[in-house]
């Protein structure tokens, strides 16, 4: 059994916004609220990044059209005592997906972490 850090990408829709920064703020706030309401405060939420196709520089994953924004969120969760990367991914998607119903989720990275018994109990 190992511990893993699982990173997921979520597609969050924000309506009636005109500014990218507002859309990002609303998306992060709404996702955090829904996670907190389900006692999932341990899930880290931040805006995702996308590489520019022309220059490769990273920029915030957000796009606005017709006052509606699609914001890519990065969600990270520590999974303890999983049998492997696939098991950790399933646990993470189940934990986060239960709180964020109807939000598309995709696992983008799974990293095995070194943790001791004290971290697993925290």
Q: Decide if 122 is inside a domain.
A: no
Domain CATH code at residue 37: 3.30.70
Beta-bridge partner residues of 2: 82
> Is pLDDT above 90 for 114?
no
Q: Decide if 32 is inside a domain.
A: yes
When the pLDDT of each residue in the chain is averaged and rounded to a whole number, the result is: 90
Q: Decide if 48 is inside a domain.
A: yes
What per-residue confidence (pLDDT) applies to 115? 63
Q: Is 71 helix (H, G, I), strand (E, B) or coil?
A: strand
Residue 5 is encoded by which pair of tokens? 């850090």
Q: Decide if 121 is inside a domain.
A: no
Q: At what angle do helices 85-99 and 20-37 cross, to 10 degrees?
A: 100
Q: Decide if 79 is inside a domain.
A: yes
Task: Report the predicted TM-score, pTM, of the whole model to 2 decimal places.
Answer: 0.85
Q: Decide if 120 is inside a domain.
A: no
Q: Are 90 and 77 in contact (CB under 8 A)?
A: no
Instruction: Count the domains in the chain.
Output: 1
């Amino acid at each position: 059994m190992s511990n893993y850090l699982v990173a997921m990408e979520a597609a969050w829709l924000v309506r009636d916004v005109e500014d990218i920064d507002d859309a990002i703020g609303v998306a992060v706030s709404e996702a955090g609220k829904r996670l907190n309401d389900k006692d999932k405060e341990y899930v880290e939420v931040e805006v995702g990044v996308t590489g520019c196709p022309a220059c490769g520089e990273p920029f915030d994953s957000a796009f606005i059209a017709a006052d509606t924004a699609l914001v890519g969120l990065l969600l990270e969760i520590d999974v303890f005592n999983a049998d492997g990367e696939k098991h950790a991914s399933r646990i993470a998607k189940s934990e986060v997906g239960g709180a964020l119903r109807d939000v598309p989720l995709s696992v983008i990275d799974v990293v095995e972490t070194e943790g001791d018994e004290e971290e697993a109990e925290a």
